[in-house]
Amino acid sequence: MRAGTLIPTRQRPAANRAARALWPCAVLALTLALVGPARAAHDPELAARVDAFVTAEMARQQVPGIALAILRDGKPLFVKGYGLANVEHGVPVKPETVFQSGSMGKQFTATAVMLLVADGRLRLDDPLTKFFPDAPETWKTITVRHLLNHTSGLGDWPRQLDLRRDFSEDDLLAMVKASPLLFPPGARWSYSNLGYVTLGLLVHRVTGTLYGEVLRERVFAPLGMSTARVISEAEIVPNRAAGYELVAGRLANQEWVAPSVNTTADGSLYLTVLDMAKWDAALHSDRPLPRAVRELMWAPTVLADGSSKAYGFGWHTGTLAGRRAVFHGGAWQGFQSYVIRFLDDRLTIVFFANLKQAHSYRLARGLAALFHPELRLPAVSPLADEPEARAFVQRALNELADGNPSPETFTPAALASLASGEGVRLGDLLRTLELPVAVIAFAELVDRREAAGRRTSHYVLTGLDSTLDVTLAIDATGKIATLDVAPRAPER
């Protein structure tokens, strides 16, 4: 229930317009005034460029706070907090500030599984029915490997999930069992939070211990990741940040969710950039994961038809600016996170932000471009968009990325064009993005015009190393009559 999950949008009652207009400005001014000194910043020029980029993006995106670490050879190059961890109390972000991980936590779930593989307690090609004997017939061909690399076919959380209801492990397992397979295991790649929830249940079945305790005993404690843990809103957690979202342009607190929803293995961890620095140092060693295991986790997935997807076990994998890299983001309950590891450069960038709408791909790419200018961000001047229009466009693009354009979204003529092969071309382009559903969520409107009964809009999708321009026209029926996707040439 992390990156890629559909979260209900709140509707707020109308407030005084003057206060609504002044409040974000006041918060932003205070946020940008609170920029602490960098730790381990040995390069003043680099520090100045990082500060300039981060503060500019925080202002552009209205982000309350960011914690950032840049590491080389597993050692801190630049570590700093920006803005506010808690707006109501005026608490600044510092390197010790605790954020929620979102799906960045999947790499730790995958690590717990791989440690059990190394122990000989399970195998990657074990069928799930070995551990869940009462599982549906369709699970007989799902293996542990399929869960790790998102090829199980299990899909995502139900759209109508009640986030305010507590779920037991039996409830969660019943929910996963009731989820129909989207495709035969191994045939396709589709990001699956339910798959990682199931891995957490699997770790418990195999060890008799909750997955978070396994991580504490096998990873966090040995590495000195002293603040890394499963989320608990009930316990006292020093330096815990608050999560926020923008509602009608105004900062609001994150939605409350039931405690059990914040303990699942798809990404329910508390982490700091200092924890992640210790984790990064460990990934340069053979403790706790030997090199052969790390390389297996970072290898692309080979599908049944021989094609591949640049995702391993809990990590996206591929090349950025022509350099080998592994990376992953997270989004949940008013937080965004991202980590990029340039393997050959031995360079790592990791950050946390406490705003649901923080454009994590833009932040990650802009920071990486400070070292690799080929990744420089596209010139984009976003316009204010209508929430309903934005949601409709996102739905259309996700349908294309999934290969399922619907008659509720597209006109009959558009559907006919898409069925002729155009739909495959557009879907293939959208699937070049690291995680289409996540990048599409950050679509930025840059132009909109009305003419001849049609509304034509131009959106920009900014991924880690590519940019797509999307142009679409909506006719009088409220459906998409034309849509085109085109790669944008790199900025110079």
pLDDT at position 37 is: 73
pLDDT confidence band for 27 (50 / 70 / 90): low
Chain segment 385-437, per-residue pLDDT in tens: 999 999 999 999 999 999 999 999 999 999 999 999 999 999 999 999 999 99
Chain segment 300-326, per-residue pLDDT in tens: 999 999 999 999 999 999 999 999 999
Burial class (CB in 10 A: 0-12, 13-18, 19+), 164: exposed
| CA-closest candidate to residue 232, choices 204, 214, 213 | 213
Q: 441 and 394 in contact (C-beta within 8 Å)?
A: yes
pLDDT at position 25 is: 52
3-state secondary structure (DSSP) of residue 52? helix
44-61 vs 17-33: helix axis angle to the nearest 10?
A: 170
DSSP string computed for 377-392: PP---PPP--HHHHHH
Which segments of 333-453 are extended strands (E)? 335-342, 347-353, 444-451
pLDDT at 466 over 80: yes
Average pLDDT over residues 78-88: 98
pLDDT at position 35 is: 67
pLDDT at 28 over 70: no
Chain segment 15-26, per-residue pLDDT in tens: 333 333 344 555
Worst-scoring range by mean pLDDT, 32-36, 154-158, 388-392, 457-461? Answer: 32-36
Average pLDDT over residues 83-110: 98
pLDDT at position 32 is: 56
pLDDT at position 366 is: 98
Report the percentage of the chain scoring pLDDT > 90: 89
pLDDT at position 42 is: 72
pLDDT at position 1 is: 44
